[in-house]
Structure 1
Amino acid sequence: MEETISLKDLFATLKKRALLIITITVLAVLVSGVTSFFLLTPIYQSSTQLLVNQSKDEAAVYNNNQIQTNLQLIDTYNVIMKSPAILDKVIDELDLDMSVGALNGKITVASEQNSQVVKVSVTDEDPVMAAKIANTVASTFQKEIVDIMNVDNVSILAKAEVSDSASPIKPQPLMNIAIALVVGLMIGVGIAFLLEYLDNTIKTEQDIERILGMPIIGVIGEIEATNGHAEAKAGSLSRTGRGEPIGTQKV
């Protein structure tokens, strides 16, 4: 016989395992909060913008093909900006105690679609250092690109600055706690239903009927001794409904 679960059964399971669900959810929120506020190191981000212009010699032949060429040139600039040719000089200038690969991982170079503006973003545990690295990368690239590609078409639009109210981009405690709340609730509910599924205890007459595939014709109640006499609480063989005895008889 296939077992069917009603909506009432689902809510009954949730009510029965409510303490377990709440405990798991609270633990998940506490772990997330403690980790976000006390264990994870704040990371700050600082950005600068560069403008890639046409060189004066190219202005006379500017057309649709040249637009595409400029966009491809920006992609090339993005790669060069994170190359050892630039980053080695940045490390030397700022006297950074890190490898080129480590510095590369802190830098993100991006440009909007069909835009000649390039944004250089740097993440670091120190907001002041993040701004210094971003500005140094931009200025170093502006100087070195002249020798690397024999062009002088890069200008700095905006330098990275550190505000007094600088806030870290990560971790985001409230977001982490909200995620932990949802995940903890899902895990708690999942475990509750799993425990209920694995629980083979027979609790009702309906469970017996479901397992044996046979109807219940009577119920034997509890027998209690009262003043030396045995009193039996049993259901009559006749029933008004499934599993519902209509009376008791004394023995």
Structure 2
Amino acid sequence: MQKEINLKVLFSVIKKRLWLILIITAIATTASGYYSSISKDPPPVYQSSTSILLNTIDKDALSTLEVILRDPAVLDKVVGELGLNKSLDELNKQINFANEGGSKIVNIMVADTNPELAAQIANSTANIFTKQMGSILGIYDTKILSEAQVSSTPSSVGSESTSLLKYLVIGFGAGLVLSIGIVLFLDSLDETVQSEREIEQLLEFPVLGYVSKMNGKNTKSKNKKRVVQT
């Protein structure tokens, strides 16, 4: 019973300051939409890949190939060959290595916001990688099946409408939660007695009656009744 009474009081507090909740929520939603309109979407990312056939490599040695590919000796030569203004860590994050089902074909995939640069990095990495396999593992029987081509279609691009909707939903939710929190905080600061139950708890006496709040409507109604009676 106590829980039900608390819920009634809670809804009563929210209803009393519903205008404040609506204002804060509207401001937060509008601000989120405005931020979404002025913020720049991330640039599209293009991906290029090259395939390498390893004829004489043992399947058990495939697990070491990615280690060689990501070795600073390989990445540093790629940076020097292409004159990249990138650190080895940045270049390493752009490169993906794939080998499906333990086959002798490996794919080197590179993602970059510049489609031409993505293809150049993929091809350069593949060439230097095959040379390193010869000097480190003694594997020279390799063949590049397909060189990386410049992609005209981005592999990932942000949707403007989806981004706007996302920001509006976040702003609405944040504004609603914030406004309800403010309303409950303001109500906690109000130390006035607002219910018969609070009076009974304070005075430890039952309430026999109460005087209704006087307003313009009540006053006019009572005046009309008095005129009719006279």
Query: Taking structure 2 as the reference length, what is the TM-score of the superposition?
Result: 0.71
* Identity within the alignment, %: 23
* Counterpart residue number, 1:65: none
- Provide the rounded CA distance (Å) in 2 between the counterparts of 1:83 and 1:98: 15
Q: Which amino acid is the alignment partner of residue 187 of structure 1? A: A
* Counterpart residue number, 1:199: 186
Q: Which amino acid is the alignment partner of residue 222 of structure 1? A: M
Aligned-residue Cα RMSD (Å) equals 3.9
Structure 1 residues 157 and 173: alpha-carbon distance in aligned structure 2, compared to 1, 3 A threshold:
farther
Indicate the structure with greater strand content: 1
Q: Secondary structure at the match of 1:218?
A: coil
Q: CA deviation at 1:101?
A: 2.6
* Counterpart residue number, 1:156: 144
- The answer as to 2:1 corresponding to 1:23 is no
- Provide the rounded CA distance (Å) in 1 between the counterparts of 2:27 and 2:210: 41
Q: CA deviation at 1:24?
A: 0.9
* Counterpart residue number, 1:184: 171
* Counterpart residue number, 1:48: 49
Q: CA deviation at 1:149?
A: 0.8
Q: CA deviation at 1:90?
A: 1.2
* Counterpart residue number, 2:65: 77
- Provide the rounded CA distance (Å) in 1 between the counterparts of 2:127 and 2:147: 10
Q: CA deviation at 1:190?
A: 0.7
- Structure with more relative contact order (C-alpha pairs < 8 Å, separation 6 or more): 2
Indicate the structure with greater helix content: 2
Pairs aligned (count): 214
Q: Which segments of 5 or more consecutive residues in structure 1 lack a partner in the other structure?
A: 59-68, 225-231, 237-246
Structure 1 residues 81 and 249: alpha-carbon distance in aligned structure 2, compared to 1, 3 A threshold:
farther
Q: CA deviation at 1:212?
A: 3.2
- The answer as to 2:117 corresponding to 1:129 is yes
Q: 2:88 aligns with which of 77, 80, 100?
A: 100
- Provide the rounded CA distance (Å) in 1 between the counterparts of 2:111 and 2:208: 71
- Provide the rounded CA distance (Å) in 1 between the counterparts of 2:44 and 2:137: 34
Q: CA deviation at 1:93?
A: 1.6
Cα pair 1:47 1:119 within 8 Å, conserved: no
Q: CA deviation at 1:82?
A: 1.6
Q: Secondary structure at the match of 2:48?
A: strand
Q: Which runs of at least 4 in structure 1 moved beyond 6 Å after TM superposition?
A: 247-250
Greater Cα offset, 3-12 or 139-148: 3-12
